[in-house]
């Protein structure tokens, strides 16, 4: 069997992973059978997540485990744990579905990737600011644009518990998919003229064009997978495409604001302008292109029942629901101002509107993570039955 946290191969029946110390499926108490419904998270967030799930055709109750996203971040981890996870996805390092961990994942490497990129960014800023050396500016722009989107991509890489997509392929999707989605904007813009920001109408057209452009890139890479497109894998592919899109777009905004907008001004003014754009877009990136595209990729995989990608999946109910959610959130994001919501500024141009939009899209992501874990549980249980093995109880990680 394999550890669901670090991906290491461990002896069958182990209660805890000897490498990272995480509890395994075997350590959980017996309870509901695989795929059984579990209690819905309470409150308004749980209710809203349940409604999103119903709109997408889900019938079971949704459990939201946002605490799992952070509970391993501050634990001590050995250097080898990351090496094991980054080695998955090959012919000999992809576990069979019967041996895939069925517990909710506990990602943490994304925080270390973020820290490494942040340290690099600070170093380049010191180099550019204190020494006023322009050679540091291209790196500052690119690392600043990469910082949050790439870290969120690593988060989705960790939550892809089938471990069927190697990190090298994720990097390929990030760069090639990001550029491809940018290129797809222009023919779509020619078909749907009038896009922009400000009023809701042009903002809606922007949302439609840019989300369809990312979907086109997602389809290219989903088709290349060839095998079953797991929901969790679809989330990863979508996140990688969206992250590439976001990083390249942000780098362009930083360049425009710092260089083109800073012509005739002092060095400090130019650098401050670049830093303001980097900081604002970095914070907001957790609820923008990366997760909008992740939702689209995950929803596209919901229509896959082991047959591989089909263009008919683009007309499936789950995909259309999550595509509509992403487009609507994108349109509201670009609508300035939204009455009342944009009147409440939290910090440095970040208004209540953006906070609410981030919460909504992460509820949708949590629903897809829930559906993805359920899918893995059902397939794993079926594989174990086929091998005449008694399935373990559903884990309570």
DSSP per-residue codes, 246-298 = HHHHHHHHHHIIIIITTTTS-HHHHHHHHHHHHHHHHHHGGGSHHHHHHHHHH
Question: Using CA atoms, how far apart are residues 160 and 73, in angstroms rounded to an integer?
Answer: 17
User: Mean pLDDT of residues grouped by 10 in the chain (397 residues)?
Assistant: 55 52 45 38 71 75 79 87 87 83 86 96 92 88 95 96 92 97 95 92 96 96 81 96 96 83 72 89 94 96 77 89 96 92 88 95 92 87 71 50
DSSP 20: T
Torsion of CA 78, 79, 81, 85, to 10 degrees: 160
3-class DSSP state of 42: coil
Give ∠ CA 299-72-117 in degrees, rounded to 5: 80
DSSP 337: P
Give whole-number Cα distances, 183 to 12, 99, 146, 209, 345, in Å. 48, 40, 19, 11, 34
Q: Give the distance from CA 393 to its chain's centroid.
A: 28
pLDDT, position 11: 57
Q: Judge if the upstream peptide bond of residue 337 is cis by omega within 30 degrees of 0.
A: yes
pLDDT, position 79: 77
pTM strictly above 0.95: no
Q: For 157-193, how does the pLDDT look when each residue is reduced to its tens digit (9 = 90+)?
A: 999 999 989 999 999 999 999 999 999 999 999 999 9
Q: For 67-110, how does the pLDDT look when each residue is reduced to its tens digit (9 = 90+)?
A: 888 889 988 888 788 888 888 888 888 888 878 877 788 899 99
Give whole-number Cα distances, 364 to 63, 154, 160, 164, 321, in Å. 12, 19, 17, 23, 10
pLDDT, position 19: 46
CA atoms within 13 A on the CB side of 111: 12
pLDDT, position 12: 57
pLDDT, position 13: 56
Question: Using CA atoms, how far apart are residues 125 and 139, in angstroms rounded to an integer?
Answer: 9
Strands (E), the chain: 345-347, 350-351
Q: Per-residue b/e over 172-199, b at no fewer than 16 CB within 10 Å?
A: ebbebbbebbbebbeebbeeeeebeeee
Question: Using CA atoms, how far apart are residues 176 and 185, in angstroms rounded to an integer?
Answer: 15
pLDDT, position 7: 54
């Amino acid at each position: 069997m394999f550890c669901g946290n670090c991906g290491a191969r461990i002896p069958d029946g182990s209660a805890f992973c000897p490498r990272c110390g995480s509890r395994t499926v075997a350590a959980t108490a017996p309870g509901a059978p695989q795929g059984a419904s579990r209690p819905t998270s309470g409150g308004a967030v749980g209710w809203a997540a349940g409604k999103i799930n119903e709109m997408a055709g889900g019938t079971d109750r949704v459990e939201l485990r946002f605490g799992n996203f952070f509970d391993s971040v501050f634990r001590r981890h050995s250097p080898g744990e990351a090496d094991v996870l980054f080695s998955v996805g090959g012919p000999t390092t992809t576990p069979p579905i019967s041996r895939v961990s069925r517990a909710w994942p506990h990602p943490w490497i994304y925080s270390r990737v973020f820290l490494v990129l942040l340290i690099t960014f600070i170093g380049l800023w010191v180099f550019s600011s204190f020494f006023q050396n322009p050679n540091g500016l291209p790196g500052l722009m690119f690392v600043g644009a990469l910082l949050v989107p790439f870290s969120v991509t690593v988060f989705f890489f960790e939550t892809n518990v089938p471990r069927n997509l190697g990190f090298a392929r994720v990097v390929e999707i990030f760069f090639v998919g990001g550029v491809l989605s940018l290129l797809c904007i222009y023919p779509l813009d020619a078909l749907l003229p009038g896009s922009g920001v400000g009023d809701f109408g042009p903002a809606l057209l922007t949302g439609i064009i840019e989300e369809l452009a990312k979907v086109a890139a997602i389809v290219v890479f989903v088709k290349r997978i060839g095998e079953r497109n797991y929901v969790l894998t679809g989330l990863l592919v979508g996140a990688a495409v969206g992250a590439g899109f976001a990083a390249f777009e942000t780098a362009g905004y930083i360049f425009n604001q710092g260089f083109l907008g800073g012509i005739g001004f002092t060095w400090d003014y130019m650098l401050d302008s670049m830093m303001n754009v980097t900081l604002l877009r970095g914070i907001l990136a957790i609820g923008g292109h990366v997760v909008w595209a992740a939702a689209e990729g995950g929803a596209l995989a919901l229509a896959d029942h082991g047959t591989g990608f089909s263009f008919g999946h683009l007309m499936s109910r789950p995909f259309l629901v999550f595509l509509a959610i992403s487009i609507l959130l994108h349109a509201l994001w670009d609508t300035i101002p939204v009455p009342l919501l944009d009147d409440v500024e939290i910090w440095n141009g970040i208004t209540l509107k953006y906070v609410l939009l981030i919460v909504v899209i992460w509820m949708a992501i949590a629903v897809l993570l829930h559906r993805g874990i359920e899918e893995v549980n059902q397939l794993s249980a079926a594989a174990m039955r086929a091998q005449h093995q008694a399935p373990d109880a559903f884990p309570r990680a």
